[in-house]
Amino acid sequence: MDLHHITPIKTYIKVLALLLFLTFITVIVAKPVSGFDLGHLNTFVAFAIATVKAVAVGLIFMGLKHENKVSRNYFISAILVLLVLFSFLAFDIATREVLVNPL
């Protein structure tokens, strides 16, 4: 972890190009644009691409690559907390017994 890491401009440009390209892809693949429909999968695809973009911004633009372990661990724990919340909630809602009015 070198504190004052100076990322060369070329790297920034490469990352920007990657981000724009991925945006282009995710827009083309999307249903309202090209009608390309995978059902449930297109949510998954859109989010996979968004996660790749987010990781790119995180690692290079935000310098997470050169950040000390602690900040990285808290960043990951923030995402973990959201996953825990969502998965427990989805589990609860999925297993709820749906009753109907007896009258």
Partner 1 sequence: MSDLLGKNYINCEKGLWSWLTTLDHKRIGIMYLIAIVFFAFLGAVFSLILRYELFSAGKDFLTALQYNKVMTYHGAIMTFMVLVPGIPAVLGNILLPLQIGAKDVAFPRLNLLSWYLLILGAAIAIISLFTTGVDTGWTFYAPYSTGSAQSGTIFVVLGAFVMGLASILTGLNFIATIHQLRAKGMTFMRMPLFVWGLYATSIIQIVATPVVGITLLLLVAERVLGVGVFDPKLGGDPILFQHFFWFYSHPVVYLMVLPGMGVISEVVTAFSKKVIFGYKAIVYASVAIAGVGFLVWGHHMFVSGQSDWAGVLFSFITMFVGIPTAVKIFNWMTTLYKGSIEFRTPLLFALGFLFVFAIGGLTGLFLATLSTDMHFHDTYFVVAHFHYTMVGGAVMAVFAGLFYWWPKICGRMYNELQGQIGFAFVFIGFNVTFFPQFILGAMGMPRRYFDYLPEFEHLHAVSTVGSTIVNTGMVILFVVLYRAWKYGEIAGDNPWNATTLEWQTTSPPPHENFTKEMKVTGGPYDYA
Partner 2 sequence: MFRLFFISIFSLFSQLAYSKKSVFMPPEASVYARDADQLYSFILNVSAVAFVLIILIIAYFGIKYRRKTLNDKTPNMSHNFALEVVWTIIPALIFFFMFGWGWKLWNQARHSPNGALEIFAEGQKWSWSFNYKSGRTSTNVVYVPVNKPVKFILSSKDVIHSLFLPAFRKKQDAVPGRYTSLWIQPNKEGEYYIFCAEFCGTGHSEMIAKLKVVSFKEYAKWLSNDPYKGLSLSAIGKKTFKTSCVACHSSDSTRKIGPGFGGLWGSTKQFTNNKSALVDETYIRESILNPNAKIVKGFPKGVMPTFKGQLSEKQIRGLVEYIKDLKE
Partner 3 sequence: MTMRKHAHHFKDGDHEFSASKMGVWLFLCTEIVMFGVLFVAYFLYHNQYPETFAEGAKFLDWRLGALNTVVLLFSSFTMALGIHFCQKNDSKKAVLNLALTLILGAVFMIVKYYEYSHKFHLGLYPGKFFSYEAAESVNLAMYFSFYFLMTGLHGLHILIGMGVITWVLIRARRGEFNSKYYTPVEGVGLFWHVIDLIWIYLFPLLYLVG
Residues of the shown chain interacting with partner 3 in the complex, contacts defined by CB under 8 A: 3-4, 6-7, 9, 12-13, 15-16, 19-20, 23, 26-27, 30-33, 42-43, 46-47, 49-50, 53-54, 57-58, 60-62, 67-68, 70-71, 74-75, 77-79, 81-82, 85-86, 89-90, 93
CB neighbour list of residue 63: distance below 8 Å, 6 or more residues apart: 5, 7
Tell me the one-letter amino acid at 30: A
Q: Distance (Å, rounded) from C-alpha 51 to C-alpha 72?
A: 16
Distance CA 18, CA 56 (A): 8
Which of partner 2, partner 1, partner 3, none interacts with 23 (beta carbon under 5 to 8 A by kind)?
partner 3
Cβ proximity to partner 1, 98 vs 103, nearer residue: 98
Report in angstroms how near the CB of residue 79 gets to partner 3 at its nearest.
7
CA–CA distance, 45 with 84 (Å, rounded to integer): 21
CB of 57 to partner 1, least distance (A): 21
**Of 53, 67, 57, the residue nearest 3 (C-alpha):** 67
Rounded least distance, CB 43 to partner 1, Å: 20
